[in-house]
Amino acid sequence: MARSPEDRKAARAAASRRWRAAHPEVVRETNRLQYAAHREVRLSAARLWYAANLEKARATSRRWNAAHQDRARAAKRQWNAAHRETVREAARRWRATNPEAVRAAKHRWYAANKEAARDYQRRRRIAHPEIQIAQAQRRRAAKAGVLSTLTAAEWEAIKAHHKGRCVYCGKRTKMTQDHLVPFDKKGPHSMGNVLPSCQSCNSHKLTGPPLKPVQPLLL
């Protein structure tokens, strides 16, 4: 019985399949060489297709990632390690545009890592006492019902303006925030009402006679 051209074609395809199944290494090597020889063309074709079929491509990669979680994670780690700056920049942008999500994630992390969180806070308190002091000042201002607008950057600017000196004695030491008009006289916690004062002068103000600010630039 004469075979039709279709039958001959199917027979050739079946023989080819059998041959490929029997020689996987040769097939792999041939594919690799083919790919290497046309890498640029194939990559640019893939990029074009990807740009034109974003949704489809994303769905495919989601499916693949779900089916190969370990490999997907490893690939992601590798890519991240090779593109540190890009990753950091993207994360910065995302945080800036999603403050609510950032807050929620922080809360979740604190809830799930209570011990580590307490340890982190403790180390932070020791390394940056000024953050704690600033928080305490804001709480005091809120309790006194006065305006509270002073930022960390503004406080740094105030200290720099006074060349790091206490406005009362002119000493260059660790500065505390002194309120020209105190909270109980409704003085605000703001740039115009906060002066750098050494601990000694700041405490003295509470008990002794009123101190007169000196002009540190004249010392």
Per CB under 5 A, which region of 24-32, 48-56, 128-136, 198-206 contacts Zn ion? 198-206
Which of 165, 196, 201, 216 binds Zn ion (CB under 5 A)? It is: 201
Query: Is 169 one of the binding residues for Zn ion (CB under 5 A)?
Result: yes
Query: Is 183 one of the binding residues for Zn ion (CB under 5 A)?
Result: no
Joined together, the tokens standing for residue 195 give 């002066």
Query: Is 167 one of the binding residues for Zn ion (CB under 5 A)?
Result: no
Query: Is 194 one of the binding residues for Zn ion (CB under 5 A)?
Result: no
Q: Which is nearer to Zn ion, 141 or 166 (CB)?
A: 166
- Residue 204 CB, nearest distance to Zn ion (Å)? 8
Q: Which is nearer to Zn ion, 138 or 171 (CB)?
A: 171
Q: Which is nearer to Zn ion, 166 or 194 (CB)?
A: 166
Per CB under 5 A, which region of 30-38, 77-85, 123-131, 190-198 contacts Zn ion? 190-198
Query: Is 198 one of the binding residues for Zn ion (CB under 5 A)?
Result: yes
* Single-letter code of the amino acid located at 111: A
Which of 146, 158, 166, 175 binds Zn ion (CB under 5 A)? It is: 166
Query: Is 168 one of the binding residues for Zn ion (CB under 5 A)?
Result: yes
What is d(CA 144, CA 134) in angstroms, rounded to the nearest whole number?
A: 15
- Residue 216 CB, nearest distance to Zn ion (Å)? 10
Residues in the chain: 219
Query: Is 211 one of the binding residues for Zn ion (CB under 5 A)?
Result: no
Residues forming contacts to Zn ion in the complex (CB under 5 A) are 166, 168-169, 198, 201
